[in-house]
Amino acid sequence: MGALLHALSVVLLLPGLAHAGITRHYMFNIQLQNVTRLCHTKSIVTVNGQFPGPSIIARDGDRVVVEVVNHVENNVSLHWHGVRQLQSGWADGPAYVTQCPIQTGQTYIYNFTIVGQRGTLWWHAHISWLRVTLYGPIVILPKRNVPYPFAKPYKEVPIIFGEWFIANTEAVIKEALQTGGGANISDAYTINGLPGPLYNCSARDTFKLSVKPGKTYLLRLINTAMIEELFFTIANHTLTIVDADAVYVKPFDTDTLVISPGQTYNVLLNTKPHYPNATFLMAASPYVTRLVGFDNSTTAGILEYRQPNSSNVHIKQLPLLKPNLPPINDTTFVFNFTNKLRSLANAQFPSNVPQTVDKHFLFTVGLGTHQCPKNQTCQGPNGSKFAASINNVSFVLPSIALLQAHFFGQSKGIYTTDFPDNPPIPFNYTGTPPNNTLVMNGTKVVVLPFNTKVELVMQDTSFLLGEPHPLHFHGFNFFLVGQGFGNFDPNKDPSNFNLVDPVERNTVGVPVGGWVAVRFLADNPGVWLMHCHLEDHASWGMEMAWVVLDGKLPNQKLPPPPSDLPKC
Ligand SMILES: *[C@@H]1O[C@H](CO)[C@@H](O)[C@H](O)[C@H]1NC(C)=O
Ligand SMILES: *[C@@H]1O[C@H](CO)[C@@H](O)[C@H](O)[C@H]1NC(C)=O
Ligand SMILES: *[C@@H]1O[C@H](CO)[C@@H](O)[C@H](O)[C@H]1NC(C)=O
Ligand SMILES: *[C@@H]1O[C@H](CO)[C@@H](O)[C@H](O)[C@H]1NC(C)=O
Ligand SMILES: *[C@@H]1O[C@H](CO)[C@@H](O)[C@H](O)[C@H]1NC(C)=O
Ligand SMILES: *[C@@H]1O[C@H](CO)[C@@H](O)[C@H](O)[C@H]1NC(C)=O
Ligand SMILES: *[C@@H]1O[C@H](CO)[C@@H](O)[C@H](O)[C@H]1NC(C)=O
Ligand SMILES: *[C@@H]1O[C@H](CO)[C@@H](O)[C@H](O)[C@H]1NC(C)=O
Ligand SMILES: *[C@@H]1O[C@H](CO)[C@@H](O)[C@H](O)[C@H]1NC(C)=O
Ligand SMILES: *[C@@H]1O[C@H](CO)[C@@H](O)[C@H](O)[C@H]1NC(C)=O
Ligand SMILES: *[C@@H]1O[C@H](CO)[C@@H](O)[C@H](O)[C@H]1NC(C)=O
Ligand SMILES: *[C@@H]1O[C@H](CO)[C@@H](O)[C@H](O)[C@H]1NC(C)=O
Ligand SMILES: [Cu+2]
């Protein structure tokens, strides 16, 4: 932690404000950098030439000010994933949702406060597929002099999972959208940007965690992968989960965890009491239920016990112990793991799950198709184009940002407010899929009055066997009150909802062939994207937006946009 804090930039005190944190200033230059992995050198888009990008380190209550200067040819926008952005919607970042992109040569200052969050979040590009290399951790420490609700760790280490493509990913997604086929798969998964020893020409690019015996390390896990949920495990070591998506959870031990793209976990690693005569592999591999078209490879790093004041040459001679990962399609494990997550729900960290509901929604999330244009041959299912939808609407990004259109009352021609509350045509969502898999295009939103208590059930559909979808909410945390397989039953399932200590987070895996029920309070005025964090599904339209109206009081209103907000 000392080392992390040492990396802080300029710190400025805000006088006069009760409980006020400090302001953390960062300068993010978007620039190209040549990086070699798997024996191929590639020019990638980075922040300040770093890959993975720099860490933002702040305390709960601090203001974060990031000046972003775009020096590359691509349009760029950055999202502060999981930061609630209370009344700072202009800083949220998804392109054409809360802002127009930062164009070449332009600057935009993201300016927001972190309120009531502690743990790990992350920042990433939120335009096209640029997030493949534009990402980094957001480390949120508790307020000064406020301890963790667990023993103080000896050291803290970010462990960032990613996905590496040898090809140019902007070309990969462009081709996929043109042909209608699946996007080309990645060549490796990575830990802190490094694929590790299980790939050809990669042994030197291996993350090593050097530890001392008898200590507790806090690992800050982030899954930034483009397409896949990942299992993670360390040979001969147990992990204690203490925090999910920057909210503390009731601690529990596990040998293996599963982490979806968009999710984060803080886990404690207790090292062995004495120097062991071995080194240990840590590994991440995909959780996948479809049969074809995915990267079935394993990224690995090494956990080693280094003796001080010794050459440690012997470490190389020690046996390397390998962990067991669950079968690639182990949905039962995933369901079990998710069920163990519970919020602390104590006096200091109460669970604010809404006990009553003002508005119920049922959304199907699933794949679908678009018709192939007459003059083209398409490579999607049965010669069609792949699409994805929520309640059969495939989201189309508008030409100006939704938030601007909303704030200035200029929604006409930009978006409509008729996003369906329920599936337009009910069917057996987890049975034989309907013959007609066509989805409609639209830029549709749901409008919510301020402080609406929402219950949303998200139901996977069986088209193409169904898939687990990690749905991510901007602007809100939600409470995961229930999950199950098959069709959600509104008469039976709610009686099993957990309204006592449900986990609170920003990204939830809708189980393959099943559903999740979440509740949230619409207490944050603005326009908030909700989308699958699998980047191919998002590109195919598995997105929608909530428009949350201003409340009556002055502190319940979205402030006007900052003067440097980029224009389209
Ligand atoms: C990357 O490598 C190319 C080819 O060697 C070179 O032209 C370019 O200047 C390099 N870019 C950077 C940012 O170093
Ligand atoms: C950030 O926002 C705060 C609150 O609106 C404002 O006082 C401050 O000047 C802003 N900082 C920058 C660098 O824009
Ligand atoms: C590692 O785990 C294996 C399997 O449980 C066990 O046989 C072995 O003794 C362990 N080794 C160490 C060094 O902990
Ligand atoms: C490791 O090996 C050394 C020398 O062979 C032995 O003295 C020591 O007890 C071993 N340590 C463990 C933890 O097995
Ligand atoms: C994935 O790879 C593992 C070996 O790394 C292999 O055992 C397994 O059969 C593969 N699974 C699929 C579905 O290709
Ligand atoms: C997982 O894959 C294995 C081998 O491909 C298959 O036999 C098994 O039925 C699959 N399990 C599930 C739950 O899909
Ligand atoms: C899931 O949990 C149930 C009940 O706790 C247990 O019986 C089962 O073995 C677990 N399955 C897996 C794959 O962990
Ligand atoms: C198909 O026709 C459309 C409209 O006429 C045109 O824009 C497009 O380029 C054509 N595509 C191909 C592959 O010829
Ligand atoms: C949906 O289809 C599945 C598989 O055919 C079947 O087991 C299930 O009973 C059906 N559910 C409903 C609600 O009809
Ligand atoms: C769907 O297709 C199947 C097989 O092609 C056919 O038997 C069935 O009648 C079709 N169902 C509908 C509702 O059109
Ligand atoms: C929806 O958009 C896709 C891709 O932009 C296009 O191929 C498709 O024809 C559109 N579908 C409709 C019904 O407009
Ligand atoms: C960048 O964004 C602007 C504003 O939306 C748009 O007009 C322009 O075509 C975009 N440029 C690129 C290279 O995508
Ligand atoms: Cu998805």
pLDDT in tens, 207-245: 999 999 999 999 999 999 999 999 999 999 999 999 999
Do 403 and 480 lie in a common domain? yes
pLDDT of residue 237: 98
Give the CATH number for residue 72.
2.60.40.420
Residue 405: phi, psi to the nearest 5? -60, -40
Q: Measured between alpha carbons, how far is 382 from 165 in angstroms, rounded to an integer? A: 27
> Ligand 3 centre from 236 Cα, in Å?
6
How would you class 33 by CB atoms within 10 Å of its CB: exposed for 0-12, middle for 13-18, buried for 19 or more?
middle
Q: Measured between alpha carbons, how far is 284 from 377 in angstroms, rounded to an integer? A: 37
Tell whether ligand 4 has an atom less than 6 A from the beta carbon of residue 307: no
User: Of the residues 131, 148, 165, which one is the last residue of a structural domain?
Assistant: 148
Indicate which residue's Cα is closest to atom 12 of ligand 7: 333
Q: Is residue 293 part of a domain?
A: yes
Q: Average per-residue pLDDT in the chain?
A: 95
Residues 6+ apart with CB under 8 A from 481: 353, 455, 497, 498, 499, 502, 517, 518, 519
pTM value > 0.85: yes
Tell whether ligand 6 has an atom less than 6 A from the beta carbon of residue 111: no
Which residue type occupies 465? L
> At residue 19, does pLDDT exceed 70?
no
User: Of the residues 107, 124, 148, which one is the last residue of a structural domain?
Assistant: 148
Indicate which residue's Cα is closest to atom 2 of ligand 6: 329
Tell whether ligand 9 has an atom less than 6 A from the beta carbon of residue 487: yes
Closest CA to 21 of 31, 11, 8, 34: 11
Identify the band that residue 117 occupies on the pLDDT scale cut at 50, 70 and 90. Answer: very high
Q: Is residue 566 part of a domain?
A: no
The sign of the torsion formed by the CA atoms of 511, 221, 47, 78 equals positive
Coil/strand/helix, residue 17: coil
Q: Measured between alpha carbons, how far is 203 from 460 in angstroms, rounded to an integer? A: 39
Q: Which of 46-50, 160-164, 256-260, 315-319 has the lowest mean pLDDT?
A: 315-319
pLDDT of residue 465: 72
Domain that holds residue 23: 1-6+16-148
Do 131 and 59 lie in a common domain? yes
What percent of the chain clears pLDDT 90, i.e. is strictly above it? 92
Q: Is residue 418 part of a domain?
A: yes
Instruction: Dig out the tokens for 199 from the structure.
Output: 């790939």
Do 22 and 76 lie in a common domain? yes
Pocket test for ligand 5, best of 288, 291, 328, 331 (most atoms within 8 A of CB): 328
Residue 175: phi, psi to the nearest 5? -65, -45
Q: Measured between alpha carbons, how far is 553 from 534 in angstroms, rounded to an integer? A: 38
Q: Is residue 508 part of a domain?
A: yes
Instruction: Dig out the tokens for 275 from the structure.
Output: 């120097």
Q: Is residue 434 part of a domain?
A: yes
Do 410 and 530 lie in a common domain? yes
Indicate which residue's Cα is closest to atom 14 of ligand 3: 236
Q: Which of 103-107, 462-466, 480-484 has the lowest mean pLDDT?
A: 462-466
> Ligand 11 centre from 437 Cα, in Å?
13
What percent of the chain clears pLDDT 70, i.e. is strictly above it? 96
Closest CA to 519 of 545, 474, 481: 481
Closest CA to 221 of 242, 197, 249: 242
Q: Measured between alpha carbons, how far is 420 from 171 in angstroms, rounded to an integer? A: 34
CB 506 within 8 A of CB 478: yes
Q: How many domains does the chain have?
A: 3
Do 162 and 215 lie in a common domain? yes
Kindly compute the dihedral angle of the four CA atoms of residues 531, 533, 535, 538, in this order, to the nearest 10 degrees: -10
Tell whether ligand 9 has an atom less than 6 A from the beta carbon of residue 426: no
Tell whether ligand 11 has an atom less than 6 A from the beta carbon of residue 440: yes
Atom of ligand 5 lying closest to residue 288 CA: 13
CA triplet 330, 335, 339: central angle to 5 degrees? 150
pLDDT digit string, tens, across residues 246-281: 999 999 999 999 999 999 999 999 999 999 999 999
Coil/strand/helix, residue 345: coil
The strand pairing partners of 285, in sequence order, are: 231
Do 136 and 162 lie in a common domain? no
Residue 306: phi, psi to the nearest 5? -100, 125
Measured from the Cβ of residue 264, the count of other Cβ atoms closer than 10 Å reads 28
Do 472 and 375 lie in a common domain? yes
> Ligand 5 centre from 283 Cα, in Å?
15
pLDDT of residue 529: 98
Atom of ligand 2 lying closest to residue 67 CA: 13
Residues 6+ apart with CB under 8 A from 209: 157, 217, 282, 301, 302, 303, 304
Tell whether ligand 5 has an atom less than 6 A from the beta carbon of residue 328: yes
**Ligand closest to the CA atom of residue 537:** 13
Q: Measured between alpha carbons, how far is 112 from 101 in angstroms, rounded to an integer? A: 18
User: Of the residues 148, 176, 200, which one is the last residue of a structural domain?
Assistant: 148
CB 436 within 8 A of CB 427: no
Instruction: Dig out the tokens for 289 from the structure.
Output: 């239920």
DSSP-H helix ranges across 342-448 = 402-407
pLDDT digit string, tens, across residues 281-334: 999 999 999 888 899 999 999 999 988 776 666 777 899 999 999 999 999 999
Say how many CA atoms lie within 13 Å of 151 toward its Cβ: 10
Q: Measured between alpha carbons, how far is 245 from 122 in angstroms, rounded to an integer? A: 10
